[in-house]
Homo-oligomer: A and B are copies of this chain.
Amino acid sequence: MALTQARTMPGVLELLPMEQVALQGMLDTIRRNYERFGFLPIETPAIEFADVLLTKSGGETERQVYFVQSTGTLEKAGRPELALRFDLTVPLARYVAEHEHALSFPFRRYQMQRVYRGERAQRGRFREFYQCDIDVLGKDTLSVRYDAEIPAVIYAVFSALQVGPFTIQLNHRKLIRGFYESLGIADGEQQTRVLREVDKLDKRGAEAVRTTLAGVDFGLNTEIIDRIMAFVALRSTSLQDAYAQLDALAGDNASLHQGREELRQVLDLLKAQGVPESHFALNFSIARGLDYYTGIVYETTLDEHPEIGSVCSGGRYENLAGNYTKSHLPGVGISIGLTRLFWQLREAGLLASSESSVKALVTLLDESDLPHYLQLAAHLRGAGIATEVVMEPGKLGKQFRYANRAGIRFVLVLGGDELAKGVVTVKDMRKNEQFEVPRADLVQTLRVELEQAEVMNAVFAPTEIQSDRNVS
């Protein structure tokens, strides 16, 4: 029979089992921290009605949508009725509008699912990828205090993910608008054009951007350009410096004033929540989705890997679901593009070396003792220790090599001697130590070792706990 070549479409990241263990660990860590902050889970279908998904998008988004058709509708003309979600924000808007009366507001939800984009395939861009989102939605209003809770979540998540030092960058759309207004760039469209230009600083360099801003398209004078360049270069270096930078901002129109006050409140509450000042900073160059965000905006960067860019972004928006409901639903949220982050960490060699989710391997010495091996495995599994039993005969050395290759930490040997003495011989593959332990103590012994390993892995994680020492 002719074989079909087994292959996945370009632009997906399919992982080997040990890599999947690592990704699953990251998903678990993110979820655990989202839940600790009181966010509730939702999941939405991957397939939505196309007219629901594409209400406000058009343009780039629509070009990247995957349409879906069952066989029965293939022959029909026109655009298919169904499509795959391309983010979790539009489905959230649809969900909240559809279930509005069954939800309590402020509605705090997390959602961790894959999304689909028919992008041109290129290295590091994915057509199917995980997004891990949180949002808080208010009915009519939502306190700026929630804007301060989001960075505390980001801090908890990225501390627990152990990806090295990171900085949560803060800016505010109203402050940006007020700043440009104070420079006489009051027209919204002109502001947007300037922002787009300034956003090219990294790519084009300061001189090129200055030249463009001074040129015929913008016609800004040198003093204005100097002030813009100084503004977008600002990075606060401490909490005190952040307050000082806000105080020092020239101009005092209403928009700038409001942005400044809200950022001050956020800074106050970040401190109250114990987020270390080393982990956040004002950065006035951050703009993000220009037609979407209306208040605070966040980006998070890895200090030692700026080339990765923002690993977690979001902000405050004015009204989530205006296409589906007359209710006014302001919100604030963030998204982690986990598939891309995972890929980048792997590329940068930052993924912790994988130990398997399987912790113990029971070896097969004598086939007639198989019932004993299975009982030992049942004992360990009952105590929550993931255990595999070698079921088919083979040399003991081969069984050890398998455990080694598979990243299984403990290899258990239960020979005639051990059975007679009521003990188990344990080889700790990580420490390269071998010891005998009474059967009755086995679970406890392995648990202590496994928990120690977890604590070692989580050495950066429980900073939340450390910060609590300041609590009254």
Contacts and interface: CB of A to CB of B under 8 A. Distances in A.
B116 A47 contact: yes
**This chain's copy number in the assembly:** 2
Nearest to A2: B323
B47 A464 contact: no
B324 A5 contact: yes
Contacts of A16: 99, 102-103
Contact of A37 (B37, B99, B156, B386): B386
A391 B67 contact: no
Interface string A371-391: 110111111011111111101
A51 B4 contact: yes
A440 to B, nearest CB: 10
Contact of A66 (B70, B384, B468): B70
B71 A14 contact: no
Contacts of A271: 371
Contacts of A47: 9, 12, 66, 84, 116, 127-128
A41 B70 contact: no
Contacts of A358: 35, 38, 40
B40 A385 contact: no
Interface stretch (A106-114, A200-208, A306-314): A106-114
B20 A43 contact: yes
Interface in A9-27: 9, 12, 14-18, 20-21, 23-24
Interface size range of chain A in the complex: 35 or more
Given A273-B375, A274-B375, A374-B272, A464 B382 contact: yes
A349 interface: no
Given A9-B82, A36-B381, A388-B108, A42 B15 contact: yes
A272 B370 contact: yes
Given A46-B128, A94-B6, A382-B465, A269 B370 contact: yes
A412 to B, nearest CB: 12
A178 to B, nearest CB: 25
A45 B104 contact: no
A72 interface: yes
